């Protein structure tokens, strides 16, 4: 009896709760209807006043004052009325806006959006006329364009005359434009204003490289004819801007000697073209200096790239150098030539043989060339086709194009570096030099010293030793751990270029 009475009491309380909720909801709907009527009345009274847009606060107060129901329903109805009020207000603003804003020249940032009202337009530095093409939502809308200090024109396609700057500097010429959209809807006048700040873009950056070179010939190189013999390798670095050049021939008398032997170095700021070549040592057996052809090839290629009125691509420079009169001598060599497209910040390269280059950015490898080999230890070689008709030609070179940025590090070297130091180790040494604020010559010296040590180390696990192991050691022995150790003694020439972007 007691339990039955308790269950009846619980059931009755649930029924009463449902009835109370239904009653509250019914009264809430009535309050919402009254609130909507009050909002509409407030909207009409506001439109008749001096203000063209009804106040959101006034609409909310008129609606909320009608709500006399429970807290639960009051919350629901408040949200509903708020949505109605916001919709009423945005409907007025939607009457006057643009769906698109076209420009004849330049880049508009950020991307156009009907709700966004402030923009920046960057135009070419020598532009004199600019046309804006605003597109309103309604054809009946009136669009006027003009500078802020002037009276807006009534024409929707206005050509804005830009004043020419007397000189191009980092201070840009600016013009602030105002686009006013006016539209009438439901006997109300709507208006929206867009502003466009027109700026002349800065001149395009001119890319270049601060280049340092460091090299050590093999032991046995020394003084010949009163000049230091710098080995079989050759290099050049040139600047189209300053018309300066450094090459193996120009510094042949500037070699120096330390406890490790002969070395040489050089530095050229704002270089636009660099190259290295490695003479094939087999020509010594025929009584021919292997370094003569490589040095002549680099000298002619440098003159082609630096002396031309228009930039010359690396493969074209190699082609001209191979057929030039100065290179019709016995000898062959590998060659890698790089040139930076100064306006587009692109590094163009032509690589033939087993010399090569690597581009590092923030310590990570971005791009590197691949060695070209006929077979193991027999790289592609350039030579005079009249003397050595079986040699390769410039058309056989691999071509590369790499976008570069300010601060990128370009390492260009002969195989004396790549045979004795792994690419990963090269990247770590380059990053170490950057962190220690080394200049390009010091970074190049860091790499050369590492390669030089490994070339004499009988237990070093160098790229040359790994390649030899793969070539001469049977696979089953390699599986058991048998392998060749040590480095390769060779001329080592390393060029390091740090990319810079300047403004003329």
Arithmetic mean of pLDDT, 368-386: 92
The three-state DSSP-derived secondary structure of 155-200 is CCCEEEECCCCCCCCCCCCEEEEEEEEEEEECCEEEEEEEEEEEEE
| Listed range (235-239, 339-343, 430-434, 459-463) with the worst mean pLDDT | 339-343
Overall size of the chain counted in residues: 504
Q: How far apart are CA 198 and CA 207, in angstroms?
A: 27
pLDDT above 70 as % of the chain: 70
Q: How far apart are CA 40 and CA 53, in angstroms?
A: 13
Residue 172 has pLDDT above 50, yes or no: no
4-16 confidence digits (pLDDT tens): 454 455 555 555 5
Residue 62 has pLDDT above 50, yes or no: yes
157 — pLDDT class (breaks 50, 70, 90): very low
Query: For residue 155, what pLDDT is reported?
Result: 38
Integer angstrom CA distances of residue 249 from 236, 296, 471: 9, 8, 37
* 1-25: burial string, b at 16+ Cβ within 10 Å, e else: eeeeeeeeeeeeeeeeeeeeeeebb
What does DSSP say about strands 332-341 and 227-228: parallel, antiparallel, or unpaired? Answer: unpaired
494 contacts 415 by C-beta, under 8 angstroms? no
Residue 394 has pLDDT above 60, yes or no: yes
Between 490 and 474, residue with greater pLDDT? 490
How many angstroms separate the first and last alpha carbons of the chain?
Answer: 102
180-204 confidence digits (pLDDT tens): 888 776 667 778 888 888 887 655 5
269-278 confidence digits (pLDDT tens): 999 999 999 9
295-336 confidence digits (pLDDT tens): 999 999 999 998 777 788 999 999 999 999 999 999 999 999
Arithmetic mean of pLDDT, 32-54: 50
């Amino acid at each position: 009896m007691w339990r039955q009475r308790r269950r009846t009491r619980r059931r009755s309380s649930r029924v009463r709760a449902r009835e109370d909720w239904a009653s509250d909801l019914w009264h809430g709907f009535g309050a919402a209807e009254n609130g909507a009527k009050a909002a509409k009345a407030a909207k009409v009274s506001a439109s008749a006043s001096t203000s063209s847009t009804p106040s959101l606060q006034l609409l909310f107060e008129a609606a909320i004052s009608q709500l006399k129901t429970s807290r639960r329903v009051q919350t629901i109805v408040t949200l509903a009325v708020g949505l109605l009020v916001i919709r009423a207000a945005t409907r007025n603003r939607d009457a006057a806006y643009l769906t698109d804003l076209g420009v004849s020249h330049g880049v508009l940032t950020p991307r156009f959006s009907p709700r966004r009202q402030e923009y920046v337009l960057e135009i070419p530095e020598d532009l004199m006329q600019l046309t804006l093409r605003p597109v309103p939502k309604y054809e009946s809308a009136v669009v006027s364009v003009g500078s802020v200090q002037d009276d807006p024109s009534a024409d929707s396609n206005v050509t804005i005359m830009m004043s020419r700057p007397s000189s191009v500097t980092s201070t840009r010429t600016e013009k602030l434009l105002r686009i006013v959209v006016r539209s009438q809807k439901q006997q109300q006048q709507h208006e929206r204003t867009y502003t466009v700040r027109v700026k002349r873009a800065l001149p395009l950056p001119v890319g270049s490289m601060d280049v340092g070179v460091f090299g050590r010939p093999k032991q046995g190189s020394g003084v010949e004819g009163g000049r230091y013999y710098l080995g079989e390798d050759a290099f050049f670095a040139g600047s189209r801007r300053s018309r300066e050049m450094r090459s193996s021939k120009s510094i042949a008398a500037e070699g120096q000697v330390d406890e490790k032997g002969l070395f040489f170095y050089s530095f050229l700021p704002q270089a636009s073209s660099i190259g290295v070549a490695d003479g094939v040592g087999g020509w010594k057996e025929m009584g021919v200096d292997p370094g003569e052809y490589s040095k002549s090839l680099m000298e002619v290629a440098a003159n082609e790239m630096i002396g031309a009125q228009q930039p010359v691509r690396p493969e074209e420079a190699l082609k001209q150098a191979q057929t030039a009169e100065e290179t019709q001598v016995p000898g062959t060599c590998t060659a890698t030539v790089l040139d930076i497209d100064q306006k587009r910040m692109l590094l163009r390269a032509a690589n033939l043989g087993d010399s090569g280059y690597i581009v590092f950015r923030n310590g990570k490898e971005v791009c590197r060339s691949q060695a070209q080999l006929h077979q193991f230890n027999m790289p592609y070689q350039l030579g005079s086709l009249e003397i050595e008709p079986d040699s390769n030609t410039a058309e056989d070179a691999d071509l590369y194009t790499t976008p570069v940025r300010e601060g990128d590090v370009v390492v260009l070297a002969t195989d004396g570096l790549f045979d004795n130091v792994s690419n990963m180790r090269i990247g770590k040494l380059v990053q170490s030099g950057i962190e220690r604020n080394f200049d390009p010559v010091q970074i190049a010296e860091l790499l050369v010293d590492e390669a030089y040590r490994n070339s004499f180390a009988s237990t070093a696990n160098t790229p040359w030793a790994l390649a030899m192991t793969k070539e001469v050691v049977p696979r089953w022995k390699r599986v058991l751990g048998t392998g060749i150790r040590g480095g390769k003694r060779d001329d080592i020439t390393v060029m390091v270029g740090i990319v810079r972007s300047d403004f003329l």
